[in-house]
Amino acid sequence: MIKAVIIDDVKEFRNTNRQLLNQNFPDIEVVGEADGVETGIELITREKPNLVLLDIEINGGSGFNILQRVKPCNFMVIFITAFDEFAIKAIKFSAIDYILKPVNEVEFCAAVEQALKNHERNNSSAQIENMVSQVEAVDKLCRLVLRTQESIFLVETHEILYCESDNSYTTFYLQDGQSILVSKSIKEYEQMLTPCNFFRPHQRFLVNLNKVTRVDKAEGGNIILKNNKSIPVSFRRKQALFEVLAKM
């Protein structure tokens, strides 16, 4: 039996989460609830759960405060929260599942199932530790978790040369010659990496501007990276690229 706890400062949401678990996951037992940081820490310490459903904004602080104080985090976490741009960015960087309020049953079940799979692969602790470190560094999101079928990679963003899209898949090319293929769209990574000085010059590519050696203007334009890789620049993105480079 998998032990779960629910930490949310709104009783209605705690009741909804409990009901969804009871209806869809008979092997998961809810062993307790809490509404704030201190009660959440006490609950986790006492019950030692396998799964924590955690709201970000709670009484006495945030769900991140709990994770910072109960390390090592030897449990699965699913964030259930209203939209918070920075918080969700940190969660996405660590490939941890989250659900936006109001909770949708299909999304809820998918997130729980994914968390269970990650736990079976012993991925949970590394992902949570990475996310906590991102939050502790405020908005300096310098590490990215890339999850494949076989492995979980913790990659420093400064090690990424560029990303290439293939429909719903994205390949990351690193400066050591390694490539990592993940089943997420490049658009999602564009949103995450733009604050880290990445730019999308073409529909297929996302480039680390810190790895650019020159920009050739001829024949539409090309970005040349430190490994001599040439990345095309689309006509509609050329001016935006020049504006970004001028600010560096």
Q: d(Cα 66, Cα 34) in Å, to the nearest integer?
A: 11
Give the whole-angstrom CA distance, residue 220 versus residue 22: 58
CA distance 53 to 63: 10
* Residues of the chain above pLDDT 70, percent: 85
Q: For residues 37 and 176, give the distance between their C-alpha atoms in angstroms, rounded to a whole number.
A: 42
Q: Which CATH topology does 2-136 take?
A: Rossmann fold (3.40.50)
Whether residue 205 is predicted with pLDDT greater than 50 in this model: the reply is yes
Q: What is the pLDDT of residue 138?
A: 45
Q: Given a cut of 90, is residue 18 above it in pLDDT?
A: yes
Per the listing, tokens 């073409």 go with 202
pLDDT at residue number 74: 85
The helix (H) or strand (E) run that includes residue 174 is strand 169-174
158-246 CATH: 2.40.50.1020
The kind and range of the H/E element at 239 are helix 235-246
Is the separation of the CB atoms in 5 and 54 below 8 Å? no
The encoded tokens of residue 125 equal 């602790």
Q: At 116, which helix (H) or strand (E)?
A: helix 105-120
Calculate the CA 233 to chain-centre distance: 28
CA angle 81, 7, 101 (to 5 degrees): 20
**How many Å apart are CA 53 and CA 31, to the nearest integer?**
12
* Cβ count near 31 (within 10 Å): 17
Question: Are the CB atoms for 223 and 230 separated by under 8 Å?
Answer: yes
Mean pLDDT along residues 186-210:
91
State the Cα angle at 8 between 25 and 51, rounded to 5°. Answer: 40
Q: What is the value of pTM for the model shown?
A: 0.57
pLDDT at 160 over 80: yes
DSSP state letter for 38? H
pLDDT band at residue 80 using 50, 70 and 90 as cut-offs: confident
Averaged pLDDT, 8-18: 94
Q: What would the pLDDT profile of 37-70 be if each residue is shown by its tens digit? A: 999 999 999 999 999 999 988 888 888 889 888 8
Q: Which of 177, 201, 174, 176 is nearest to 190 (CA)?
A: 201
Same topology for domains 2-136 and 158-246, yes or no? Answer: no
Could you state, in order of their start, the residue ranges of all structural domains in the chain?
2-136, 158-246
